[in-house]
Amino acid sequence: MGTAFAEPRRRMEIPAEASVVKGNGGLQKILVRCPNAAGEMYLHGAHVTSWKPAGKEEVLFLSSQSRWEDGRAIRGGVPVCFPWFADKADDPKAPAHGVVRTKAWQLESIAQAEDGVRVSMITESGEDTKRWWPGDFHLAYRATFGSELQLELAATNTGKTPWRFEEALHAYYRVGDIAKARVAGLGTIEYIDKTDSNRRKIQNGEIAIVSETDRVYLNTSGAVELDDPVLRRRTLVAKENSRTTVVWNPWVQKAHALADFADDEWMHMVCIETSNVSDFAVELAPGQEHCMKAIVRVADL
């Protein structure tokens, strides 16, 4: 990466709290080390790969087999999915989860925030995105690393025609043992079971992960709690402007089939994804902006 980019980025650093460094695969990352938290965020995909509130263990799962290269998604942390989720309905050749998790974003700013350090990155439509999707867009993504992790994705329609999009903050949370973990907050909610021909079902109480789990919970704006008796912690995921929550664990076979995921790592992660997908894709008129937010907190169990 030429110095042309390095210098302006360096000027954005906060001495002793936030610096621009080379990360895995030579990809640039922002390293945050402030009184309330430690964290890491790559320009590649605007990908948050680590968040550790002060005095606590790492909250996010990151695969030991992740790829770190242009055009490939990082496995773990928080991939940003936009403007479609999972496979593109009308084009099976299109990359899964959209076009922005595999591209280099621009660093817009690094700033002190009330509770920690806020890193802002931006990207927009161009030749690379129009290969797959015609919309004109601008994305601004702010990650605030503090005693809580705040993630805000603002999408703006910079074109002349309305468009409809899906989005997800596809967060991977670390757990001590998936068999003992429980996800609460989605009881009575309708979901699409993607492991059962997309059948629609109603959640009965807490979620226990006992097999491959791939579910889209619909019309839900509430917070979700991930209880982990092994790591003795509760991770609370609250949100704003998000009407769906996706819960995913690949279990044994899918884990084995994923080249960038170790065979036993399914036991130590669960994805809880703040999103607007499926029936709740968002329509944006020209000039309009939509901002989705996730707020993650950790408490001792």
- Figure out which of the listed residues 115, 148, 152, 214 binds ligand TA6, where binding follows CB under 6 A: 214
Residue appearing with tokens 């209880």: 227
Whether the upstream peptide bond of residue 286 has omega within 30° of 0, thus cis, is no
Whole-angstrom Cα Rg for the chain: 18
> Going edge to edge, which strands form the sheet with 233-240?
106-113, 116-124, 137-146, 149-157, 289-300, 233-240, 224-228, 182-184, 207-208
- How far separated are the first and last CA of the chain, in Å rounded? 44
Strand-strand pairing, 28-34 and 18-22: antiparallel
In sequence order, what DSSP letters do the residues of 181-213 get, joined into one string?
Answer: -EEES-TT-EEEETTTTTEEEE--SSEE--S-E
Residue 237 interacting with ligand TA6 (CB under 6 A) = no
Residue 259 C-beta: closest distance to ligand TA6, Å: 10
Catalytic residue check, 170: yes
Residue 97 interacting with ligand TA6 (CB under 6 A) = yes
Residue 298 interacting with ligand TA6 (CB under 6 A) = no
For residues 157 to 176, the per-residue mask of contacts with ligand TA6, x marking binding by CB under 6 A and - elsewhere, is -------------x------
How many angstroms separate the CA atoms of 272 and 172, rounded?
7
Please report, as a single letter, which amino acid is at residue 48. V
Residue 215 interacting with ligand TA6 (CB under 6 A) = no
User: CA angle at residue 146 from 23 to 82, to 5 degrees?
Assistant: 60
- Figure out which of the listed residues 20, 117, 192, 246 binds ligand TA6, where binding follows CB under 6 A: 246
Q: Which of 266, 218, 268, 226 is nearest to 246 (CA)?
A: 218
Residue 227 interacting with ligand TA6 (CB under 6 A) = no
Nearer to ligand TA6, 170 or 239 (CB): 170
For residues 18 to 37, the per-residue mask of contacts with ligand TA6, x marking binding by CB under 6 A and - elsewhere, is --------------------
Residue 270 interacting with ligand TA6 (CB under 6 A) = no
Residue 236 interacting with ligand TA6 (CB under 6 A) = no
300, 248 Cβ separation under 8 angstroms: no
Residue 248 interacting with ligand TA6 (CB under 6 A) = yes
Which residues, 177 to 196, sit near ligand TA6 by CB under 6 A?
A: 194
Give the active site residue among 148, 170, 265, 268: 170
Residue 158 C-beta: closest distance to ligand TA6, Å: 27
Residue 52 interacting with ligand TA6 (CB under 6 A) = no
Catalytic residue check, 268: no
Q: What is the DSSP letter of 33?
A: E
- Figure out which of the listed residues 73, 171, 294, 296 binds ligand TA6, where binding follows CB under 6 A: 73
Nearer to ligand TA6, 207 or 271 (CB): 271
Which residue ranges make up the site for ligand TA6 (CB under 6 A)?
73, 86, 96-97, 170, 194, 214, 246, 248, 271, 273
- Active-site residues: which are they? 170, 273
